[in-house]
């Protein structure tokens, strides 16, 4: 059923739900709310950006849609006093508010002009056409190893930068001194530029592997001990005693849980009684009347029209309809010496992972993420233990079967119907009085102290304000981030099943998929990006949406259909892709429509299927768009080449990117092997290199091999080179969030210096790193660059990529490691910088996993057997010759047979200890706040209702079993007598106590 346009859920933007899953009322909107993993950097011009959890507030309607106004609307406007044009001008200038408006408009116009002149300098040459060959290949690696490019072969004419004489690295203080000697005027364009050998930045040497990669650091540096082989011995990491199980957290006592569930059920009922009319019908959440838990939407009530695809993905899992794909990985033979070095590096990466994992277990087990500096927790991703579920496959890949079994117990307990609040959780039991129903305030509810004066003139003082209760932190979120929940949780569970064969993972993945599935039941198949679990959209509109978030659910739901045999999941996401494929006006169809046409087959960062002609905006492969393009080629591989739609969409998108976004970097001296995928907005191309864009090297390499696009392979190598250069050129050796390069024709990118002989003037490029105008130096442990480096090694077999990855890893460890994990680096352009108390779950799920796989044998998690989702979770690729074998499973089974899958059936979904303690603390805190308000007369007491049945505690059940039949009859007679006495006193059901 499709809802009417005037329905509350059809409005854009959709109003926040007043129903919470917990089921507490919604938390007020805050500017500190989380914004998502693929959030676009706040500004590329500063060295620091807004926190990732910052949410851009939606402007009021009047600011988003300003209405025309005239000056004669203001009182006192003397327009009628004057005559003629001059009189009108004088009338306007005579109004103070009008003068203020003119001043504001003039200042805004000046600010826009300055920003445009600073960030978007015009290019004097048009975009290069799509041609091949593209440009020079990367320099060959001088180190050992095959050094080949797979079956593509090394392109001819590769410049050998390794043969150039080394020069001293230019230091920032040297640049500052040289700039101080220059004039303030622009340099003469005819002056010669300093020769390359004087300004080319020397490449970093490869750090040693053994015995210590950080010999230059003092002994006081903690990393020497934290990553020591004596702490985590390679043969048995548990033998030294550093690895321990998480601290035991027992659930709250049963009587406290009963009170918490009773409070939840009462709040749900009270909230539902306040909803009336269409909004109540549209909300449509079904709750358990005894516990207040939300229930999933029944499948037959979800509006999910079928897509245009006729492919049965269930058959693909059995090898039916699967095509033989081209080989992706390099099939050469590795040398023994290189393998030994790679093995030692792999052990260093594993010890780094164990260090972080132990810190999380000790300080934040069960919560979403660890704050490694304060050793506290954060719950930005529903409070289901994002780090645990996101890291399941990493534990299996690193052969940590016992750690997987510990995580498996957590997976079994997660309650997907409950979202943990932001409040700081403890295991301190609240007072039982905090759960009591609020009562009527006494007659004297005000302060006893009265004002001085006669008795008849005394006035009561106003009641005191209630204490600050921080309800925004006590209340649960009302929505989940659909995209992040899918790639981290659903993707993590599916990948764990593919690698382990553990049926528990598939059971929980199906359950979570059923919770998320209704979010896709919209008019055009776009998911609701902030979805209230348990609600049913019933075909409503979604409004404007982020491209990467609506276009990056296909792999997870397709794989879920393959493994469960239920086509519904695939059909739901296929509708989304059909809309993105054909639902927006093509570039050639914009003639006469008066709108700015889209850029080829690309899509803007924000899309609205209700307005297919509205395709203006930012075009990028970075934040807000990245994984949409990534999933096109990976969905093609996951479906075994059975769908030509994804092959066509990928080819068209990449061809358009060559025309509009992909450019050479021409402003870095000595490097003609760098390529970036910039951004284009309102016709202006920006030479911005985002860290989020660096995934594209691996994507282009994968597409080049699968679709035999040789030109894409050259571009993939150069894009990865540019991203690796961003690491190598920073002061710390760590890559920044973003860089913006100078334009080649920008005269301000040079300044004048004395020539080496001191006899003349020459030009020297600006920038530190040279060629860079500005950048955002923050690094939060992002994986995109090491992801592409991993792909380049697996595709080409060239060990130079292992050396690049080793440089990146050792630099990151040096500047980010602390006692409990890896903190965020605030500015990678300074060796001494501030660290931030944050560590994303993808540090363990993606970054450390890619480092580990980079140094693993070629055939381990092969790119021909697995395809990675955007959270680095490998899914098994169906083969044309299907053979189901458990020999490839990495799980060794449960440590104790009592912990096998069937034993979890009775406990699945009961709630983790963190969730149960959150329920108790949350209910007590909110009810205590209500009690305070009732006492002060600010709230009405909640009328007592007959409580539903609550399961007795185990202690009460045991006492009941021990009673003899005579004792049971005695209890029944006592209860009957008590009931008769209550009726006699006028306290029966439906009766009120008689007045005294």
Strands 545-546, 606-607: pairing is antiparallel
The token pair that represents 733 in the structure block:
């050796």
Q: What is the mean pLDDT of residues 950-973?
A: 70
Buried-exposed string 6-43: b where 16+ CB fall within 10 A, e elsewhere: ebebbeeebeebebbbbbbbbbeeeeebbbbbbbbbbe
- Cα–Cα distance, 35 to 51 (Å, whole number): 9
Q: Is the peptide bond before 660 cis (omega within 30 degrees of 0)?
A: no
Q: How confident is the model at residue 90 (pLDDT cuts 50, 70, 90)?
A: very low
- Answer whether residue 189 shows pLDDT above 80: no
Torsion of CA 87, 91, 94, 96, to 10 degrees: -160
Window from 33-42, 243-252, 318-327, 607-616 with minimum mean pLDDT: 33-42
Burial of 183 (0-12, 13-18, 19+ CB in 10 A): exposed
Using pLDDT thresholds of 50, 70 and 90, give the confidence band for residue 713. Answer: very high
What pLDDT is recorded for position 771?
Answer: 96
Only one residue has tokens 């191309």, namely: 685
Mean pLDDT of the region 328-341: 91
Lowest mean per-residue pLDDT among 413-427, 490-504, 649-663? 413-427
pLDDT at 305: 84
Residue 138 has pLDDT above 50, yes or no: no
Residue 183 scores a pLDDT above 50: no
Alpha helices in 540-643 (DSSP H): 547-550, 554-564, 568-582, 626-638
Per-residue confidence (pLDDT) for residue 554, from 0 to 100:
98
Average pLDDT in the 418-423 region?
Answer: 89
Does residue 604 contact residue 617 with C-beta atoms inside 8 Å? yes
SS3 837: coil
Average pLDDT over every residue of 111-136: 45
Average pLDDT over residues 308-321: 91
Question: What's the mean pLDDT in 266-276?
Answer: 77
Separation of first and last alpha carbons in the chain: 57
**Mean model confidence pLDDT for the chain:** 79
Percent pLDDT > 70 in the chain is 72
Q: What is the mean pLDDT of residues 146-154?
A: 36
pLDDT in tens, 766-783: 999 999 999 999 999 999
Measured from the Cβ of residue 524, the count of other Cβ atoms closer than 10 Å reads 20
Beta strands in 480-617 (DSSP E): 480-481, 530-531, 545-546, 606-607
Within 8 A by CB and 6+ apart from 192, the residues are 762, 763
Phi-psi region of 964 (alpha: psi -120 to 50; beta: other; left: phi over 0): beta
CB within 8 Å of 489: residues ≥ 6 apart: 381, 382, 384, 386, 389, 390, 512
Let me know how long the chain is: 996
Reference 577, options 532, 619, 629; nearest CA is 629
DSSP state string for 153-188: -PPS----GGGSPP-PPPPHHHHHHHHHTS-SSPPP
Average pLDDT over residues 507-518: 97
Residue 443 CA to residue 174 CA, distance in Å, equals: 78
User: Which pLDDT score is estimated for 276?
Assistant: 60
For residue 370, what are the β-bridge partners?
A: 377
Looking at per-residue confidence, does 103 or 118 come out higher? 103
CB 577 within 8 A of CB 571: no
d(CA 271, CA 18): 8
Most confident of 28-32, 638-642, 898-902: 638-642
Token pair of 371, please? 């704050």
Tokens of 453: 């004066």
Phi, psi of 48 (to 5 degrees): -145, 150
Pairing state of beta strands 530-531 and 480-481?
Answer: antiparallel
Q: Which two tokens stand for residue 212?
A: 């210590």
Among 14-18, 193-197, 403-407, 797-801, the least confident range: 14-18
Higher pLDDT, 89 or 752: 752
Task: Encode pLDDT of 2-29 as tens digits.
Answer: 334 444 444 434 433 333 333 333 333 3
Q: What is the pLDDT of residue 555?
A: 98
Q: Bridge partners of 157?
A: none
Specify the pLDDT at position 103: 85
Q: For residues 211 and 42, give the distance between their C-alpha atoms in angstroms, rounded to a whole number.
A: 42
| Cβ atoms of 793 and 806 closer than 8 Å | no
Of 895, 808, 792, 914, nearest to 851 by C-alpha is 808
Alpha carbons 952 and 943: distance in angstroms, whole number: 24
Residue 384 has pLDDT above 70, yes or no: yes
Residue 78 scores a pLDDT above 70: no
Calculate mean pLDDT across residues 376-380: 94
Q: With 70 as the cut, is the pLDDT of residue 36 above it?
A: no
Query: Cα Rg for the chain, rounded, in angstroms?
Result: 32
* H/E segment holding residue 294: strand 294-295
Range in 241-245, 754-758, 992-996 with the lowest mean pLDDT: 992-996
- Whether the CA torsion 595, 600, 601, 607 is positive or negative: it is negative
pLDDT at 388: 98
Q: Is residue 494 over pLDDT 70?
A: yes
Question: Which tokens in the block code for residue 872?
Answer: 């680095």
Q: Which of 109-123, 166-180, 559-573, 589-603 shows the highest mean pLDDT? A: 559-573
User: What mean pLDDT is predicted for residues 63-78?
Assistant: 34
Q: Name the DSSP letter for residue 335.
A: P
Query: Cis bond leading into 788, ω under 30°?
Result: no
Q: Any idea which residue has 């009775």 for tokens?
A: 906
Span 749-773, mean pLDDT? 93
Backbone angles phi, psi at 908, to 5 degrees: -65, 125
The C-alpha torsion from 176 through 181 and 184 to 190, rounded to 10°, is -110
* E strand or H helix at 868: strand 866-868
Higher local confidence (pLDDT), 127 or 415: 415
| Most confidently predicted of 185-189, 444-448, 540-544 | 540-544
| Least confident span in 176-180, 603-607, 860-864 | 176-180
Place of tokens 């169809």: 589
Helices (H), 286-369: 313-317, 336-364
What are the tens digits of pLDDT across the range 546-559? 999 999 999 999 99
Strands (E), 552-696: 606-607, 618-619, 662-664, 675-677, 679-681, 684-686, 688-690
Tell me the pLDDT band of 260, cut-offs 50, 70 and 90: very high
Going by the DSSP 8-state scheme, the letter that residue 994 receives in this structure is P
Segment 469-489 shows an average pLDDT of 86
pLDDT exceeds cutoff 70 at 347:
yes
CA distance to 211, 224, 240, 242, 481, per residue, from 228 (Å): 10, 6, 11, 11, 39
Compute, in degrees rounded to 10, the torsion defined by CA atoms 987, 991, 995, 996: -20
pLDDT at position 786 over 70: yes
**Threshold 0.85, pTM exceeds:** no
Cβ neighbours for 95, distance < 8 A, ≥ 6 positions apart = 71, 74, 76, 77, 78
Q: Are residues 677 and 719 in contact, defined by beta-carbon separation less than 8 angstroms?
A: yes
| Mean pLDDT calculated for residue range 478-494 | 97
pLDDT at 79 over 90: no
- pLDDT bin (cut points 50, 70, 90) of residue 667 is very high
Instruction: Name the pLDDT band for 941 (thresholds 50, 70, 90).
Output: confident
């Amino acid at each position: 059923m499709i809802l009417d346009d005037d329905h509350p859920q059809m409005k854009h933007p959709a109003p926040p739900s007043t129903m919470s899953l917990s089921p507490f009322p919604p938390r007020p909107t805050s500017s500190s709310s989380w914004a998502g993993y693929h959030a676009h950097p706040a500004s590329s011009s500063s060295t620091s950006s807004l926190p990732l959890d910052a949410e851009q507030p939606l402007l009021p309607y009047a600011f988003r849609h300003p209405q025309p106004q005239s000056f004669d609307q203001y009182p006192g406007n003397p327009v009628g006093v004057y005559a003629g044009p001059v009189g009108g001008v004088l009338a306007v200038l005579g109004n103070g508010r009008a003068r203020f408006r003119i001043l504001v408009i003039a200042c805004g116009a000046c600010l826009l002009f300055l920003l445009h002149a600073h960030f978007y300098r015009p290019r004097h040459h048009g975009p290069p056409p799509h041609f091949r060959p593209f440009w020079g290949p990367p320099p060959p690696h001088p180190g050992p190893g095959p050094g080949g490019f797979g079956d593509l072969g090394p392109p001819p004419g590769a410049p050998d930068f390794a043969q150039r004489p080394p020069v001293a690295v230019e230091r920032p203080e040297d640049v500052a001194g040289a700039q101080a000697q220059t004039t303030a005027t622009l340099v003469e364009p005819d002056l010669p530029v300093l020769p390359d050998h004087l300004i080319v930045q020397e490449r970093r040497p490869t750090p040693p592997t053994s015995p210590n990669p950080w010999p230059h650091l003092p002994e006081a540096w903690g990393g020497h001990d934290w990553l020591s082989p004596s702490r985590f011995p390679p043969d048995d990491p548990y033998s030294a005693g550093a690895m321990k199980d998480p601290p035991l957290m027992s659930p709250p006592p049963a009587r406290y849980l009963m009170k918490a569930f009773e409070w939840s059920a009462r709040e749900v009922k009270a909230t539902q009684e306040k909803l009336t009319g269409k909004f109540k019908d549209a909300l449509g959440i079904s709750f358990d009347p005894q516990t207040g838990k939300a229930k999933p939407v029944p499948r037959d009530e979800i509006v999910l029209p079928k897509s245009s695809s006729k492919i049965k993905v269930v058959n693909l899992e059995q090898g039916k309809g699967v095509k033989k794909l081209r080989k992706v990985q390099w099939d050469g033979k590795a040398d023994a010496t290189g393998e030994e070095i790679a093995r030692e590096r792999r052990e260093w990466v594993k010890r780094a992972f164990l260090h972080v994992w132990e810190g999380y277990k000790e300080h934040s087990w069960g919560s979403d993420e660890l704050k490694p500096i304060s050793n506290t927790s954060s719950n930005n991703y529903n409070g289901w233990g994002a780090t645990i579920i996101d890291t399941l496959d990493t534990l299996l890949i690193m052969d940590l079967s016992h750690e997987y079994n510990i995580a498996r117990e957590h997976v079994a307990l997660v309650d997907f119907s409950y979202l943990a609040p932001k409040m700081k959780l403890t295991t301190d039991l609240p007072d039982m009085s905090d759960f009591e129903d609020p009562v009527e305030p006494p007659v004297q509810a005000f302060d006893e102290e009265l004002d001085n004066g006669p008795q008849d003139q005394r006035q009561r003082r106003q009641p005191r304000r209630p204490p600050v209760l921080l309800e925004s932190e006590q209340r649960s979120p009302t929505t989940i981030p659909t995209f992040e929940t899918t790639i981290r949780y659903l993707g993590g569970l599916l990948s764990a099943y593919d690698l382990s064969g553990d049926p528990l993972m598939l059971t929980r993945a199906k359950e979570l998929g059923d919770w998320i599935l209704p979010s896709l039941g919209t008019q055009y198949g776009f998911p609701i990006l902030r979805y209230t679990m348990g609600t049913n959209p019933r075909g409503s509109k979604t409004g404007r949406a982020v491209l990467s978030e609506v276009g990056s659910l296909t792999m997870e739901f397709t794989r879920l259909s393959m493994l469960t045999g239920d086509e519904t999941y695939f059909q739901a996401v296929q509708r989304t892709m059909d809309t993105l494929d054909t639902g927006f006006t093509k570039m050639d169809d914009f003639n006469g429509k008066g709108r700015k046409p889209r850029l080829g087959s690309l899509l803007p960062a924000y899309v609205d299927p209700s307005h297919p002609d509205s395709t203006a905006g930012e075009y990028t492969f970075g934040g807000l768009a990245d994984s949409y393009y990534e999933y096109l080629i990976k969905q093609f591989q996951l479906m075994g080449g059975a769908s030509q739609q994804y092959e066509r969409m990928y080819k068209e998108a990449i061809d358009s990117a060559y025309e509009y976004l992909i450019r050479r970097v021409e402003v870095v001296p000595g490097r003609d092997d760098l390529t970036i995928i910039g951004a284009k907005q309102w016709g202006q191309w920006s030479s911005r290199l985002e860290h989020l864009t660096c995934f594209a090297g691996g994507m282009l390499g994968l597409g080049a091999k699968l679709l035999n696009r040789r030109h894409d392979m050259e571009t993939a190598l150069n894009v990865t080179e540019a991203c690796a250069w961003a690491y190598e050129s920073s002061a710390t050796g760590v890559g920044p969030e973003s860089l913006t390069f100078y334009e080649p024709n920008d005269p301000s990118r040079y300044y004048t210096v004395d020539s080496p002989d001191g006899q003349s003037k020459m030009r020297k490029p600006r920038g530190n790193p040279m060629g860079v105008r500005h950048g955002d130096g923050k690094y939060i442990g992002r994986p995109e660059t090491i992801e592409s480096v991993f792909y380049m090694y697996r595709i080409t077999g060239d060990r130079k990529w292992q050396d690049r990855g080793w440089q990146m890893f050792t630099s990151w460890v040096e500047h980010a490691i602390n006692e409990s994990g890896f903190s965020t680096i605030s500015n990678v352009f300074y060796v001494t910088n501030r660290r931030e108390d944050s560590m994303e779950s993808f540090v363990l799920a993606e970054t450390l996993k890619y480092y580990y796989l980079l140094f693993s044998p070629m055939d381990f998690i092969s790119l021909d057997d697995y395809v990675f989702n955007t959270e680095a979770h490998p899914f098994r690729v169906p083969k044309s010759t299907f053979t189901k074998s458990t020999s490839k499973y990495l799980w060794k089974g449960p440590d104790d047979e009592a912990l096998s899958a069937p034993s979890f059936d009775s406990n699945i979904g009961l709630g983790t200890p963190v969730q149960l303690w959150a329920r108790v603390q949350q209910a007590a805190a909110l009810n205590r706040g209500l009690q305070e308000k009732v006492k002060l007369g600010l709230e009405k007491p909640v009328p007592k209702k007959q409580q539903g049945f609550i399961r007795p505690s185990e202690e009460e059940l045991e006492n009941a079993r021990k009673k003899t039949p005579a004792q049971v009859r005695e209890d029944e007679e006592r209860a009957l007598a008590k009931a008769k006495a209550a009726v006699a006193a006028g306290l029966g059901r439906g009766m009120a106590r008689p007045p005294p």
